[in-house]
Structure 1
Amino acid sequence: MAPVPPRLVVGGVASAGVSLVVAVTAVCSVGFLADRVSSGLNDNAGQVLGADLLFESDTPIEPEVVEQAHAMALQTAKTWQFPSMVTFDKQSRLASIKVVSEGYPLKGTVTLQGAGDEANSQNRQAVQRIPPAGTVWVDPALLAQLQASPEAQLRVGMKTLQVSAIIENEPDRNVAFVNIAPRLMMNEADMQATGLLVPGSRVKETLLMAGDAEAVAQMRTWLTARPAKGARSSAPIRPAPRSGHRWTALNSFCRWFLS
């Protein structure tokens, strides 16, 4: 058998080397792109929930749950949701009341149309804050049902509150019985004055949490380990180290290529 010319050997090795570099670059690029896409999807999912992790309960959430979240350096906020009648003039309609604490929403924004003293009703704004004390944000359907203007004052329980904006969208609204009626969002500072929350009231309390992915995963594990009646948690993020899997796949490819 005739010997292979050195030039062909060198050329073949060079071609193999170039092919290997291209293959390694492709694998790394695909892995990097997959990580970016996964990160983007997780972030968008967090905006849909208004947080990285939700803990919902049909009974008051125990203080130790909030303390544990803070111990894990997570940001927190709370919401309380319940159905109640809202009155304007002589009209009364059922509304889905949502009481929110400072910090809400932790992820995403509430899209508003200005009303009352806040802005011209044609202006739209995405905000990451809650209604000022003494005011409410409402679905336009609620005003239509009450035949009320965007500057109306609505009676919620024993307290009269000023409409200051119209809700176009909120990040964590889901399809549930309590959310079928039009929304009225109010500040936690006004909750007690309404007199609506009494023992036996049907209220869904939610703790919103956000922060480092590892801390969120640990908090969810902690919640899962202590199940409570009428309580449930949900999270869009499933943190997992992807880089190790990527390099394992790359190592396997290189072994195959060089064999």
Structure 2
Amino acid sequence: MRQALRMLGRDWRAGELRVLAAALVIAVASVTSVAFFGDRVSQALLRDAHQLLGADLALQSDHPWKAQVAEQITGEGLQLARAANFISMAFHGDRNALAGVKGVTENYPLRGKLRIAPDVPVERGPARGTVWLEERLISSLNAPVGSRIRLGRADFEVAAVLTLEPERSANFFNIAPRLMMNLADVPATGLIQTGSRVWYYLYAAGEPKAIQQLETFISQKLERGQRVDNLESGRPEVRASIERARRFLALTALLAAVLAGVAIALGTRRFVERHLDGCAVMRCLGATQ
């Protein structure tokens, strides 16, 4: 044992073990750091992806949701936002244009932020009595910020130019330029009547476990014309991008592990080759190990 300790001390002073220990530490640190970085990047991608959905879970229906559904969301301790989406004509003076009207509660969106010109992030939707228009709609109506437009039976002030909206995707209601308003102002327009084609939304955000439980519960009670959108079903293109990023990060971690293994192997080989002659002599003198 004393001989082994003396040889260990000699190798340490000679620097052989230091190189091997450094290779081992660097290998473990590189694998750990890459894995940690990959996990953080994956979480950041998921968080940003939910911002594109506007929430953690989006419930869509072609008829108003029952009050029990909203109560279930708030009862789970989740945040709740509402929206209604439909097509209508907007008027300003002698001009008119087709608009994709979206009425939202003031706490919309629950994830991400709206942006208004000049590229200013805002955390709440339009106040009552005001509307936000996309640039295309402002140009079509010749209605700059501060002017008033007519929507149905009500007049509204153009309060801002909408430049970015979460969950904006290509469907029939999003072909027309966006007009965003407060959901509480929609009844005053008189545009939603029997037979109107309107999509009603409930948005939920909160802890992942509670969101999963809510999705399971709602999915079992869906009626005709209703669906539940999560990151996979609501924005499949985003989910595919996240999966590709995860595979790339996994490949990076694997490459780091391989390089770490090579570094340890090279350090070990040099250490073993240096001691082969000494070990052979000791075996000849009767050493068993």
1:100 pairs, out of 96, 99, 104, with: 104
Measured after TM superposition, the shift of residue 161 of structure 1 is 0.6
TM-score, structure 2 as length reference:
0.71
Give me the whole-angstrom Cα distance separating, in 1, the residues matched to 2:28 and 2:215: 36
Higher mean C-alpha deviation, range 53-62 or range 153-162: 53-62
Give me the whole-angstrom Cα distance separating, in 2, the residues matched to 1:22 and 1:227: 54
Deviations 1:162-207 (A, max 9, x none): 1111111111211110111111111122111111111221111111
2:65 pairs, out of 61, 64, 67, with: 61
- The SS at the match of 1:84 is strand
1:208 pairs, out of 203, 209, 227, with: 203
Amino acid at match of 1:137: W
Using a 3 Å threshold, how does the CA distance of structure 1 residues 205 and 20 change in structure 2: closer, same or farther?
Answer: same
Amino acid at match of 1:69: I
Is residue 144 of structure 1 aligned with residue 136 of structure 2?
Answer: no
- The SS at the match of 1:148 is coil
State the match for 1:44 in structure 2. Answer: 48
Give me the whole-angstrom Cα distance separating, in 2, the residues matched to 1:98 and 1:129: 14
Give me the whole-angstrom Cα distance separating, in 2, the residues matched to 1:107 and 1:215: 16
TM-score, structure 1 as length reference:
0.79
- The SS at the match of 1:99 is strand
Give me the whole-angstrom Cα distance separating, in 2, the residues matched to 1:226 and 1:28: 44
Amino acid at match of 2:79: Q
State the match for 2:270 in structure 1. Answer: none
Amino acid at match of 1:93: A
Deviations 1:87-110 (A, max 9, x none): 111222111000001211111111
1:167 pairs, out of 162, 179, 182, with: 162
Q: For the pair shown, which has the larger CA radius of gyration, 1 or 2?
A: 2
Deviations 1:44-93 (A, max 9, x none): 11111111111111111122221121122110101100000111112221
Using a 3 Å threshold, how does the CA distance of structure 1 residues 192 and 21 change in structure 2: closer, same or farther?
Answer: same
- The SS at the match of 1:73 is coil
State the match for 2:148 in structure 1. Answer: 153
Give me the whole-angstrom Cα distance separating, in 1, the residues matched to 2:31 and 2:219: 36
Using a 3 Å threshold, how does the CA distance of structure 1 residues 219 and 14 change in structure 2: closer, same or farther?
Answer: farther
Give me the whole-angstrom Cα distance separating, in 2, the residues matched to 1:64 and 1:212: 20
1:244-259 residue pairs with structure 2 within 5 A?
Answer: none
Give me the whole-angstrom Cα distance separating, in 1, the residues matched to 2:107 and 2:145: 26
Give me the whole-angstrom Cα distance separating, in 1, the residues matched to 2:48 and 2:151: 34
Q: Percent identity?
A: 38
Measured after TM superposition, the shift of residue 7 of structure 1 is 4.0
State the match for 2:189 in structure 1. Answer: 194
Measured after TM superposition, the shift of residue 6 of structure 1 is 4.6
Is residue 130 of structure 1 aligned with residue 125 of structure 2?
Answer: yes
Measured after TM superposition, the shift of residue 151 of structure 1 is 2.5
In structure 2, runs of 5+ residues without a counterpart are 233-238, 240-253, 259-263, 265-289
In structure 1, runs of 5+ residues without a counterpart are 114-122, 239-248
Higher mean C-alpha deviation, range 32-41 or range 148-157: 148-157
2:176 pairs, out of 174, 181, 185, with: 181
Measured after TM superposition, the shift of residue 236 of structure 1 is 2.7
- The SS at the match of 1:86 is strand
1:6-45 residue pairs with structure 2 within 5 A?
Answer: 6-7=7-8, 21-45=25-49
**Contact 2:143-2:158 at 8 Å conserved across structures:** no
1:200-239 residue pairs with structure 2 within 5 A?
Answer: 200-236=195-231
2:77 pairs, out of 73, 76, 80, with: 73
Higher mean C-alpha deviation, range 151-160 or range 216-225: 216-225
